[in-house]
């Protein structure tokens, strides 16, 4: 999940950019990842330089997907510099539709150590974006989150800061179809309560949303209860409450919801439901995934899947 680099993205194989090669593989068939390895980092190389070298390739206008990997190994450098570089080079990447900031493995940096910053200038710079993903919550902000074409937003953290929850609650994303948020643990920055998600769950913010993932959470039961009561459940194709500490309490709320069978898929992987509750879920009549059952007898032994 976060222990290996992506080998495919948007249905295409991923290759690392080597500025020494000069020529790129067919950009209609491959996605390039720009990353600094430890030797590069120790030698003073910067992500800004790598982006500029990539942008100088003559066929770069054909680039529709881009992955930014590790830019730091000491948790001391945030993306401000290379975000500005990407914005300045927006004309070179004018056809960019999918962008991932932070394809960083746990070996390179633990997810909670990744330094982020305000990434919202990227949305203004790339009007054709349909997919945006970021990993790491420390310092993260989406202060001006508005985009008329964005369809997918994925934020992966070990602790999602409350300002980001508010940024998303205030977002203007009329065509958003998929929202996936890894909320994480309060020991690593998650300080929100269920009321902070009201605009997302009950506010009718995203009229085209069909996939909602509020996952990796230590308030997973409260989220399940809130979603079970929400009219949003009527429009969803997929509800993803995996990776958190869901117990029988949240699961029962889902079972009791009159709208739960509108779903095509319910993901509850990494959970703390009892065997009896799992059997009830299995009889729900929709596709339900319930892998990785934890110790449901001891509440103190419950944990989110990704935190540090």
Tokens 């491959």, located at residue: 30
Tally the domains of the chain: 1
300 lies in a domain?
Answer: no
pLDDT of residue 21: 82
245 lies in a domain?
Answer: no
Whole domain around residue 156: which residue ranges?
8-234
pLDDT of residue 22: 67
pLDDT of residue 1: 74
* pTM for this model (two decimals): 0.97
290 lies in a domain?
Answer: no
Tokens 């009159």, located at residue: 258
Look at residues 216, 256, 207 and name the one whose alpha carbon lies nearest to residue 236.
207
Tens of pLDDT along the chain (308 residues) come to: 799 999 999 999 999 999 988 678 899 999 999 999 999 899 999 999 999 999 999 899 999 999 999 999 998 999 999 999 999 999 999 999 999 999 999 999 999 999 999 999 999 999 999 999 999 999 999 999 999 999 999 999 999 999 999 999 999 999 999 999 999 999 999 999 999 999 999 988 999 999 999 999 999 999 999 999 999 999 999 999 999 999 999 999 999 999 999 999 999 999 999 999 999 999 999 999 999 999 999 998 999 999 99
CA distances from 131 to 45, 66, 88 (A): 28, 10, 20
265 lies in a domain?
Answer: no
225 lies in a domain?
Answer: yes
The CATH number of the domain where 85 resides is what? 3.80.10.10
154 lies in a domain?
Answer: yes
- DSSP per residue, 211-247: EEEEEEETTHHHHHHHHHHSGGGGT-SEEE-TTS---
Q: Are 131 and 28 in contact (CB under 8 A)?
A: no
């Amino acid at each position: 999940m976060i222990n290996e680099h992506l080998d495919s993205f948007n249905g295409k194989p991923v290759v690392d950019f080597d500025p020494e090669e000069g020529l790129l593989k067919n950009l209609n068939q491959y996605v390039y990842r720009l990353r600094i390895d430890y030797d590069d980092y120790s030698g003073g190389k910067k992500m800004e330089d790598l982006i500029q070298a990539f942008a100088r390739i003559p066929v770069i206008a054909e680039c529709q997907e881009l992955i930014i990997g590790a830019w730091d190994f000491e948790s001391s450098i945030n993306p401000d510099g290379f975000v500005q570089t990407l914005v300045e080079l927006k004309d070179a990447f004018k056809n960019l539709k999918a962008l991932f900031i932070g394809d960083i493995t746990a070996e390179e940096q633990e997810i909670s150590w990744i330094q982020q910053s305000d990434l919202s200038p990227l949305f203004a710079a790339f009007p054709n974006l349909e997919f945006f993903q970021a990993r790491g919550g420390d310092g993260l902000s989406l202060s001006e989150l508005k985009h008329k074409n964005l369809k997918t937003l994925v934020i992966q953290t070990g602790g999602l800061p409350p300002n980001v929850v508010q940024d998303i609650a205030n977002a203007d994303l009329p065509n958003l179809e998929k929202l996936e948020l890894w909320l994480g643990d309060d020991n690593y920055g998650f300080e929100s309560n269920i009321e902070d998600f009201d605009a997302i769950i009950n506010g009718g913010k995203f009229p085209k949303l069909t996939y909602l993932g509020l996952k990796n959470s230590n308030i997973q039961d409260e989220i399940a209860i809130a979603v079970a009561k929400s009219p949003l459940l009527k429009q969803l194709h997929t509800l993803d409450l995996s990776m958190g500490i869901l117990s029988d309490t949240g699961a029962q709320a889902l079972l009791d919801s009159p709208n739960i069978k509108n779903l095509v898929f319910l993901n509850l992987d990494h959970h703390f439901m009892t065997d009896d509750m799992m059997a009830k879920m299995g009889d729900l009549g929709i596709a339900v995934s319930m892998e990785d059952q934890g110790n449901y007898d001891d509440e103190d032994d419950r944990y989110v899947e990704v935190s540090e």
